[in-house]
């Protein structure tokens, strides 16, 4: 129980507390600004932390990561543009709630769920970090592929009205993910001789383009058509308060999301966005009111928000114990450890145990900080942002998306990618293709392909390797079962819809 002395020493250090609160505010603002991500902010702030002590630097960046994941929900709910990829699932229900004048309510649900998920993640991390490391080591390519396979099922839960268009969107995502170097043979694919394309399409510019720019274009179009006041986003007085009765049905979803997020977080490379989508899909499947999901269910905000924040803590486990960063933020934190001469790996818990637990303690205080600020401040922030006329706000978002796309890697090519992706995202929205399915399959395809082909190399081209290894087999069965349930669910929905039509 090394965490308690660590908590005590952090609480009694006023400068450290100040850094935590500052990081919580910075993360929230960055996360809430569409197009700016916590990882972009951390990358930009990294040089400053070289002048700080290791704990100071790590705590500052770690808390920004946490609070940024939470802040993303604000933009998702208000503007239908996820501030970070992790909150893309939040917008499915968050935005309809905002349009119904319940933005404040949705944001409070997001805040509470984020706190629950994040704290669960951190507590599980503190308890199980050693155990987690032992398990993570046993997962080879076949197991990882099976997990990817199970994750692909989530596409089914966000697929929307048209199954054909949803699957087409997913296939497009996979196709785009193929561009670049073959993960096994390092040969070029679909690069058309272009040097920049040999690097692949970057996730950050693609996402900013599809989600942010695409949304701006779509707004541009609708606002041109509908001249006059657009009042649908204004919060009613009743819409910004939240009662316990209203949150009660959300609680099981938040708790389940916390476990899903923590589980996904331990596995390197999957990340918060996937956790959020799986949690959303699972939540919808088990919900008492699945017909409300997607049209503004508070539970639909609670499930993904808890999950994406729960990733934060456990994703530190493979980083600290194996040196494998589970996320972009993790990769940057790894650099901070190294610059301060701290060896990340199993020996970290022998040499710098105190520092690690102090960092965990800072993370927990950071959750409290953004939770308090968010619970009482998010509606104010939201009101402020809503007061900004859209003809000021959208150009601003437009501008930041260009800055963000450029600053991630300092590449003009990424700006081109973002612009093209922006038009693509707008067209996909216009013709009712599924943007979420497109992006998820883009993210999943790379890892899935790599691990699948690694597995085949390990087994001389035979697929038996997936069945012979028990953990891999278990995940494959989970995936297949979930797929079966989804198909049954869709058929049922169809039948009900047709039945109703028949009655009419």
Partner 1 sequence: MKRRTLLSVAIAAVAVTAMATASIAADWPKRPINLVVPYKAGGGTDAYARAISAAAEGILDVPVVVVNKPGSGGLNGANAVVGARPDGYTMMMTSGGSFLLSTMTRDTDIDALESFDFVAQVGQLQTSLMVPVNSPFQSVQDVIDAAKANPGQLRWAHSGRGGFHHVGGMGFLANNDIEAQDVPFKGGGPTRAALIGEQADFGFLGVQQLAGFEEQLRALAVNSQDRDGIMSEVPAFGELGVPFAAVSSPVIVFAPKGTPADVVAAMEAALEQIAAKPEFAELLASRGTGPVYQNGADAKAALSAMKEDATPLVQSLTN
Nearer to partner 1, 38 or 397 (CB): 38
Among 181, 234, 471, 473, contact with partner 1 (rule: CB under 8 A) = 181
By CB under 8 A, the residues from 367 to 426 that bind partner 1 are 409-410
SS3 content of the chain, % helix, strand, coil (to 5): 75, 0, 20
By CB under 8 A, the residues from 438 to 467 that bind partner 1 are 450, 454, 457-458, 460
Q: How many residues does the chain have?
A: 504
In DSSP notation, 383-440 reads HHHHHS-HHHHHHHHHHHHHHHHHHHHT-HHHHHHHHHHHHHHHHHHHTT--HHHHHH
Least separation in angstroms between CB 106 and partner 1: 36
Least separation in angstroms between CB 351 and partner 1: 9
Q: Does 140 engage in binding with partner 1 (CB under 8 A)?
A: yes
Gap between the Cα atoms of 467 and 473, Å rounded: 5
Q: Does 198 engage in binding with partner 1 (CB under 8 A)?
A: yes
Q: Does 171 engage in binding with partner 1 (CB under 8 A)?
A: no
Total residues in contact with partner 1, by rule CB under 8 A: 44
CB atoms within 10 A of CB 393: 18
Cα 239 versus chain centre, distance: 26
Least separation in angstroms between CB 260 and partner 1: 23
Nearer to partner 1, 135 or 497 (CB): 135
Gap between the Cα atoms of 46 and 57, Å rounded: 8
Cβ atoms of 35 and 404 closer than 8 Å: yes
Gap between the Cα atoms of 401 and 397, Å rounded: 6
Q: Does 483 engage in binding with partner 1 (CB under 8 A)?
A: no
Q: Which stretch binds partner 1 (CB under 8 A): 113-121, 162-170, 336-344, 431-439?
A: 336-344
Least separation in angstroms between CB 428 and partner 1: 27
Q: Per the structure block, which two tokens stand in for 409?
A: 């890697």
Q: Does 347 engage in binding with partner 1 (CB under 8 A)?
A: yes
Contact map string, positions 28 to 57, toward partner 1, x by CB under 8 A: -------------------x--xxx-----
Residue 478 DSSP SS3: helix
Gap between the Cα atoms of 69 and 117, Å rounded: 11
Binding site for partner 1 (CB under 8 A): 47, 50-52, 136-141, 181, 183-186, 188, 193, 195, 198-200, 322-325, 331-332, 334-335, 338-339, 341-343, 345-347, 409-410, 450, 454, 457-458, 460
């Amino acid at each position: 129980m090394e965490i308690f002395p660590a908590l005590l020493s952090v609480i009694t250090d006023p400068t450290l507390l100040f850094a935590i609160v500052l990081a919580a505010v910075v993360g929230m603002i960055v996360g809430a600004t569409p197009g700016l991500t916590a990882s972009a902010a951390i990358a930009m702030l990294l040089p400053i932390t070289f002048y700080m002590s290791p704990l100071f630097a790590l705590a500052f960046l770690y808390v920004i990561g946490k609070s940024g994941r939470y802040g993303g929900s604000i933009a998702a709910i208000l503007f239908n543009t996820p501030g970070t990829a992790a909150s893309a699932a939040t917008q499915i229900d968050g935005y309809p709630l905002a349009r119904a004048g319940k933005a404040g309510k949705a944001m409070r649900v997001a805040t509470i769920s984020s706190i629950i998920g994040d704290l669960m993640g951190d507590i599980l991390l503190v308890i199980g970090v050693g155990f987690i490391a032992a398990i993570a080591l046993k997962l080879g390519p076949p197991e990882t592929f099976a997990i990817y396979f199970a994750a692909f099922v989530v596409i089914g839960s966000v697929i929307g009205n048209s199954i054909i268009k949803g699957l087409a969107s997913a296939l497009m995502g996979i196709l785009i993910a193929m561009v670049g170097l073959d993960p096994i043979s390092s040969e070029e694919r679909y690069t058309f001789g272009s040097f920049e394309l040999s690097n692949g399409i970057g996730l950050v510019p693609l996402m900013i383009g599809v989600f942010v720019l695409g949304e701006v274009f779509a707004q541009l179009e609708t606002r041109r058509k509908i001249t006059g006041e657009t009042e649908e986003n204004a919060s009613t007085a009743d819409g910004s308060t939240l009662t316990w009765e209203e949150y009660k049905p959300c609680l099981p979803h938040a708790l389940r999301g916390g476990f899903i997020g923590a589980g996904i977080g331990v596995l390197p490379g999957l990340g918060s966005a996937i956790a959020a989508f799986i949690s959303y899909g699972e939540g919808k499947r088990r919900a008492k009111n699945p017909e409300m999901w997607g049209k503004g269910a508070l539970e639909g905000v609670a499930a993904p928000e808890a999950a994406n924040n729960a990733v934060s803590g456990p994703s530190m486990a493979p980083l600290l114990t194996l040196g494998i960063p589970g996320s972009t933020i993790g990769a940057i934190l790894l650099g901070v450890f190294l610059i301060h001469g701290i060896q990340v790996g199993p020996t970290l818990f022998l040499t710098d145990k105190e520092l690690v637990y102090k960092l965990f303690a800072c993370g927990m205080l950071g959750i409290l900080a953004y939770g308090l600020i968010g619970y009482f401040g998010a509606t104010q922030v939201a009101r402020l942002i809503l007061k900004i006329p859209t003809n000021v706000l959208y150009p601003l978002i437009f501008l930041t998306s260009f800055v963000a796309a450029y600053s991630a890697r300092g590449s003009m090519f990424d700006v081109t990618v973002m612009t093209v992706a922006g038009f693509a995202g707008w067209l996909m929205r216009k013709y009712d293709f599924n943007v979420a399915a497109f992006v998820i399959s883009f993210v999943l395809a790379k890892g899935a392909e790599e691990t699948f082909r690694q597995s085949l190399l390990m087994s001389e081209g035979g697929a038996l390797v997936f069945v012979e290894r028990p953990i891999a087999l278990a995940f494959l069965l989970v995936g297949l079962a979930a797929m079966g349930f989804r198909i049954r669910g869709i058929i049922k929905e169809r039948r009900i819809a047709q039945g109703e039509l028949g009655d009419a």
